[in-house]
C-alpha cells in the first residue's frame, strides 16, 4: 500500500493543501494520506498563531469528505517532565517543543506494514531547505518525496537542494538546468516525484490578512474551516511579523 505523510503548521489549512494532496494521491496511487499538524516546527522562527487543537480541528473539517485523508495527532504536544536544575527542558525530539520530520516518519512507519511505501508531501520552497533538516540523509532512506513544484524551477534546482552526500556532481545536474521541475527524479539515494500543475496562489498569511480585513474566506478555505475561524475568533490579532505558510 502507498501511504502519504503531509506535515505542516496548517495555520490554517487551505485549498492549496487539499489540491496538493489530491494530486499526490492520484499521481502516486496513495491509499491514504496522513495530515499532521506540527506542534512547533524547527524551521519556523515563530510559534504557530493558532493552537495545535484549533489547527487539528481545522484539518479534520477540511478533510472530512475525503475518506483517504486522515487527520493525525502524530505531532500533538506532549507533557515533558521538568528537567533537573541547570538542564535545558527538552522534548523527545531533542529541542524544546520542536518536531523533527524524521521522528514523525519513523513513528508512522511503526504502524505501517513492512511492504508499505511511504511518500512525504512537501512544497518546493520547503524542499529547497531540505539539506538543513535534521537527519536529512536518513529521511530520504525512509521515504520517497512528492514535491509540489512551481513555474521557474528546474530539475537542477531540485537536485541541488539535496543533502550534499546525495547531491549529483555538477556535470550530472548541468543538463537539468534546461528541464522544468516535473516528472520523476530518481537519483542514488533519493526518489522525488514532482507535481507541476497544482500551484495555487494562496497562503496562510493571505488568509490571516483577510480575517483582519473582514473579507470572505471562501476562495481560500473549505467553508467549514471558514466558519470555524469565525466562530473561534482566530487570527484576530495576527500581525505581519507572524508571516509563514
Residue 123 belongs to some domain of the structure: yes
Helices (H), the chain: 15-28, 52-62, 101-109, 124-127, 136-142, 155-160, 170-173, 204-212, 223-231
Cα 14 to Cα 70, 80, 86, 88: the distances in Å are: 15, 31, 42, 36
162 within a domain of the structure (yes/no): yes
CATH no. for residue 167? 3.40.50.620
CA 201 distance to own-chain centroid: 17
- Phi and psi at 175, nearest 5°, equal -65, -25
Cell of 57: 480541528
Residue 226 lies in a domain: no
Return d(Cα 148, Cα 165) in angstroms, integer. Answer: 23
Residue 233 in any domain: the answer is no
| pLDDT number for residue 81 | 39
Does residue 235 surpass a pLDDT of 70? yes
Q: Distance of CA 210 to CAs 43, 55, 220, Å?
A: 25, 18, 10
Domain holding 116, by residue range, is 2-77+96-200
Contacts of 146 (CB under 8 A, 6+ apart): 4, 24, 27, 28, 119, 120, 121, 122, 192, 193, 195
Domain count, the chain: 1
Judged against a pLDDT cut of 90, whether residue 89 lies above it is answered with no
Domain-located, residue 124:
yes
**CB contact at 8 A, 232 and 226:** no
CA distance 168 to 160: 8
DSSP code of residue 84:
P
The predicted model gives 214-227 an average pLDDT of 96
* Structural domain includes residue 182: yes
- Left, alpha or beta for 142 (phi > 0: left; psi -120 to 50: alpha)? alpha
pLDDT at 100 over 70: yes
How do residues 188-219 score in pLDDT, each as one tens digit?
A: 999 999 999 887 778 899 999 999 999 999 99
- Stronger pLDDT, 192 or 94, i.e. the higher one: 192
Question: 35-82 pLDDT, tens per residue?
Answer: 999 987 776 656 788 999 999 999 999 999 999 999 999 999 874 333
Measuring CA to CA, how many Å separate 20 from each of 30, 132, 241?
Answer: 12, 23, 27
Q: What is the pTM of this model?
A: 0.87
Q: Is residue 115 part of a domain?
A: yes
Residue 23 lies in a domain: yes
Q: Would you call 68 exposed, middle or buried from its count of C-beta atoms within 10 A (0-12, 13-18, 19+)?
A: middle
Give how far the C-alpha of residue 179 lies from the chain's centroid of Cα atoms, to the nearest Å.
25
Residue 84 confidence class, pLDDT cut points 50, 70, 90: very low
Query: What burial letters (b/e) apply to 163-190, b meaning 16+ CB within 10 Å?
Result: beebbbeeeebeebeeebbbeebebeeb
Cell 549529483, residue located: 168
Q: Cβ(225)–Cβ(58) under 8 Å? A: yes
Residue 45, pLDDT score: 54
pLDDT tops 60 at residue 93: no
Amino acid at each position: 500500500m502507498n501511504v502519504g505523510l503531509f506535515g505542516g503548521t496548517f495555520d490554517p489549512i487551505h485549498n492549496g493543501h487539499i489540491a496538493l494532496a489530491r494530486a499526490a494521491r492520484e499521481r502516486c496511487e496513495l491509499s491514504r494520506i496522513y495530515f499532521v499538524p506540527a506542534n512547533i516546527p524547527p524551521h519556523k522562527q515563530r510559534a504557530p498563531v493558532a493552537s495545535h487543537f484549533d489547527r487539528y480541528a481545522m484539518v479534520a473539517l477540511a478533510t472530512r469528505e475525503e475518506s483517504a485523508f486522515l487527520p493525525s495527532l502524530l505531532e500533538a504536544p506532549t507533557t515533558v517532565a521538568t528537567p533537573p536544575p541547570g538542564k535545558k527542558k527538552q522534548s523527545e525530539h531533542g529541542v524544546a517543543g520542536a518536531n523533527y520530520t524524521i521522528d514523525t516518519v519513523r513513528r508512522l512507519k511503526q504502524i505501517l506494514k513492512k511492504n508499505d511505501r511511504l511518500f512525504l508531501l512537501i512544497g518546493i520552497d520547503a524542499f529547497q531547505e531540505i539539506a538543513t533538516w535534521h537527519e536529512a540523509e536518513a529521511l530520504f532512506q525512509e521515504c520517497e518525496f512528492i514535491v509540489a513544484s512551481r513555474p521557474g524551477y528546474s530539475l537542477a534546482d531540485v537536485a541541488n537542494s539535496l543533502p550534499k552526500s546525495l547531491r549529483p556532481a555538477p556535470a550530472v545536474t548541468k543538463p537539468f538546468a534546461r528541464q522544468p521541475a516535473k516528472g520523476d527524479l530518481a537519483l542514488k539515494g533519493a526518489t522525488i516525484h514532482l507535481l507541476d500543475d497544482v500551484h495555487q496562489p494562496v497562503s496562510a498569511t493571505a488568509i490571516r490578512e483577510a480575517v483582519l480585513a473582514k473579507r470572505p474566506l471562501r476562495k481560500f478555505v473549505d467553508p467549514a474551516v471558514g466558519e470555524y475561524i469565525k466562530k473561534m475568533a482566530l487570527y484576530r490579532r495576527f500581525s505581519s511579523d507572524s508571516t509563514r505558510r
